Amino acid sequence: MSKFDVVDLGTKHGNAIQTFLRLVQNRDSKKVLRVLSELNFDPSKIQKNLCLGVERPEAESYRNIVEKKGYKFLTLDLSSSLALSTLPVSRVYLLWHFLEHLPDKESSKQAVQSALSQSTGLVWCRLPSFQQDDQTGEGALRKLGLRFSWTHWRGHTSFWLVEDCVNAINEWGLQNPKRKYDILVKPCDYIKDTADKRVVPIGAPIDTNEYARSQGPKSFKTFQPKLAAAWEVIVRFQ
């Protein structure tokens, strides 16, 4: 039996748990609910008091915020394989906009694989796009002297790609042949043209969140297909 219903790694204020609970309670995005339905995941009977937010030790100040929302809170060094080995069993693991904040790709891989080992139902990764292809990735912007704002942030130390995530999952699968699973990979946020504030000149200062005229001009172009600003990689255990 699972100790928790939901464990959220890199929880900050517990917002991912809130969003997930809204989704499964049928009060939010029908699009994401269809994803869960396609994966045959039964989200019923998830309890708020069996949700756990996990943060790095220096983020202890988030505890009050998370606990006031009715969730449990735990601090762990999520870049440490030893600490990751102590993660609890849970029906669902959320890794939303978290893996890119770990020190390097090896740390991100360890976090994904630890979540897979401790999940009994679902592991849901949500990734900002660092894809460099020129079809739906940043490569299309770089041809115009532009980039995604988040590809030059101090806090993004692991440029974790969709293929990195899928490879980590399948590597884990080879090591755990008795655990049967399905993977769904899909974009979940889009940029339709260069007017989007998240599109900035390549030379914009580090930690720039959005475009400002002081960064210089940017040409206008509509993208077809749209660029993927974020991706979801979801594992459902059979």
Structural domain count, the chain:
1
Q: Is residue 15 included in any domain, yes or no?
A: yes
Whichever domain contains 31, its CATH number is 3.40.50.150
- What distance in Å separates the CA atoms of residue 116 and residue 122, rounded to the nearest whole number? 8
- What distance in Å separates the CA atoms of residue 66 and residue 73, rounded to the nearest whole number? 7
As a whole number, the mean pLDDT across the chain is 92
Domain containing 62 equals 4-128+156-188+231-237
**Residue 166 burial (C-beta neighbours within 10 Å; 0-12, 13-18, 19+):** middle
Q: Is residue 38 included in any domain, yes or no?
A: yes
Average pLDDT over residues 76-81: 96
Give the pLDDT score at 148: 98
Average pLDDT over residues 145-159: 98
Q: Read off the pLDDT of residues 21-51 as tens digits, 9 standing for 90 and up.
A: 887 766 445 555 565 665 556 666 788 899 9
Give the residue carrying structure tokens 């940017």.
218
Q: Is residue 24 included in any domain, yes or no?
A: yes
- Give this prediction's pTM: 0.93
Give φ, ψ of 92 to 5 degrees. Answer: -125, 135
Q: Is residue 108 included in any domain, yes or no?
A: yes
Average pLDDT over residues 144-168: 98
Q: Find the helix or strand (DSSP H, E) in which 111 lies.
A: helix 105-118
